[in-house]
Structure 1
Amino acid sequence: MTSIEELLTRGELTVRGRIAGASNAVLLCTVRLDGATAECVYKPVKGERPLWDFPDGNLARREVAAYLVSQATGWGLIPPTVLRDGPYGEGMVQHWIEGIEGAEEQSPDGTLLALVEGEEAGEGWKPVAFAEVGEGRTALLVHADDARLRRLAVLDAVINNGDRKGGHLLPAPGGRLYGIDHGVTFHAEDKLRTLLWGWAGEPLTEEAVDVLGSLAGQLAEGAPLATRLAELITAAELDAVRERVAGLLRTRTHPSPSGQWPSIPWPPV
């Protein structure tokens, strides 16, 4: 049986259309190999818009690196993602996950993120920040106190995700939760911007500590994960990943905003 990674890597890509609204070129494709078929997203390097703080032409490689780290945690928080040649040159190809419309059954009122009146998040929710909602009014931005989101917050801290927006959370059938769009990751400087600050300063779960301990070993020089990551990100960025994991293990707490960089991405959704 053809694995999804093999299908994405070796299959014939057929472009079906472009996904509107993305800042970079994002193409919806079908991939076929030996009778197996799947839908996927193809982001060619040629379609990447330059960023002032990231090298040109390597956002696709960062997306693949994020997937590899996600797999190393055992949490499987990012859809299968590979780097390959396609109709418009080298790019990232990621398995298309059919999300749940409206994110039903994800939290008490059916959402992972919400705006609430008052200064208290309420049971089952974690506060993030106050937001202006017009006419001089503010509301409290909250996210669900959800174990899957908490794992994603740990992963984001490891990969230094600079763009964890609400629209990058993908609830899927079977209770799975995926994160997508990881091109702005792995910078050697602190760039963590996220809507998942609800656990900031709180102790990591025992599960997270165990996972980070295992990840530290997999990031050791010469280990297969470290060798693969060295092909995708710079040596300084790989060292920074190791340092972030070591720091999380040392403090055993979720990170807090540094104050040196905007802590919430814009736009937040």
Structure 2
Amino acid sequence: MNDHPRIPLAGVIGSPIAHSRSPALHGYWLKQYGIRGHYIPMDVAAEDLETVLRVLPKAGFVGCNVTIPHKEAVLALADVVSDRAALIGAANTLIFRPDGRIHADNTDGYGFIANLREGAPGWAPAEGPAAVIGAGGAARAIVASLLEVGVPEIRISNRTRARADVLRTEFGARVVVYDWVQAGNMMEDARTVVNTSSLGMEGKAEFRVPLDALDSRAVVTDCVYTPLRTKLLEEAAAMGCTTVDGLGMLLHQAVPGFERWFGHRPEVTAELREAVLSA
């Protein structure tokens, strides 16, 4: 009989990783629910990714989150890839099975939708088009989730149009691409507006997409959460829109992974938000 069962370990892999709020998030839940486990940040270079992933299960890891720049690369290293991760072309959550096999999933879209439904309870995705700014990894997950919940048309604009055209090709006829200089025009009659780019983030370029055509009935959300109230959200709120900050997406996307790794489905609460913001 083993009197000392292994303590489950999980973490987040990326490079750089010191800025990640995920250790504070999962650490809060582990403490709140009295679970004997640990969640740690791991700065892993691209050339070491496969070696590290193969070793972690042997060291007691039950899974991990994956962030920039490894979210696409892990798909080729996983033994099992969920339909969602395959569709999005990236994974953010890995589960290490007892036999050592790696299961890759993407919970970003789940986190995005859960955050919108919590922050804007009256949100009705089928009521009108969505305008999406940016065409990177976050946009892929968000476009897939918006299509799944019934948004009739998704308008995308990106500083480099070619990246938006790729999403149009992969996700089909409900996706319409706008040139960057026409990004403001996407807002007309849009009921959902999403910034998936880094515009407006602390230390990044300012958000300058004109909002003149923004409909006051729109729900506006920003994936940026540093600052929590971005220029986009401030201006949209002043125009009468319902706004939802980006922190909730980070919190909600963590729920499925924590449940798989530690055996308890955690709750997203106001206290959790405060703990992560003050980390």
The TM-score by the shorter chain falls in which range? under 0.3
Higher strand proportion (structure 1 or 2)? 1
Higher helix proportion (structure 1 or 2)? 2
Q: State the TM-score, normalizing by the size of structure 1.
A: 0.28
Q: State the TM-score, normalizing by the size of structure 2.
A: 0.27
